[in-house]
Structure 1
Amino acid sequence: MKNIYKNIISIVILGIVIFVFREPISSTFFALQNKYFPCSRPITYSIGSFDDRFKLSKDKFLSIINKAEGSWENPMNKELFTYSEDGVLKINLVYDKRQEA
């Protein structure tokens, strides 16, 4: 009976430790996964800032990005990038003095 209580207490303590340190555990897990299994999950991207002065629609811009994806993915024969509204990688289309020239 004492062993059952010890096991239950151990599991509860382990659960609390994992809950409290979930962010560092998660980031360490993903860092190790990226180190030892690179490209195992596609990188999600989204459009960050988008300047209309380029005279380009968002749909056209996404199709250009999709074509650029192919340049990376076709040689690897693997899905490396995928579009998501809340993607980790933000692609910004910024208009500045270099485009005015």
Structure 2
Amino acid sequence: MPVSYSGDLRSRVITEDVAKEGSQRQLAERFKVSLSFVRNLLRRYRQNGQIEAKRRGGYQQPAIQIEIEFSRQEINYFISYFYGYLEGYFQSKRLLIQHFA
């Protein structure tokens, strides 16, 4: 699993960029990181002053949680309704359904 770059490395990249110690490409080569990392880091730093790594992964709770409860009577109704639907479907296809008790 990939690991985020340290806060020290991030702050050194930003410090050198602020001091105009080279282009973004040169900074990437100097610190042996990708150009996209430097660009994204500097963009986030300019937008909101953040240098910490973004949070990664983990479980996110659904925005809406729905709980459905059915009574035994409702469940039996759904089962008999579905069974009746299947019985009619198979009869229309001239297939035989054997009743189990």
| TM-score normalised per structure 1 | 0.24
* Higher RCO (C-alpha 8 Å, min separation 6): 1
- 1 or 2, which has the higher strand percentage? 1
| TM-score normalised per structure 2 | 0.24
Greater gyration radius: 2
- 1 or 2, which has the higher helix percentage? 1
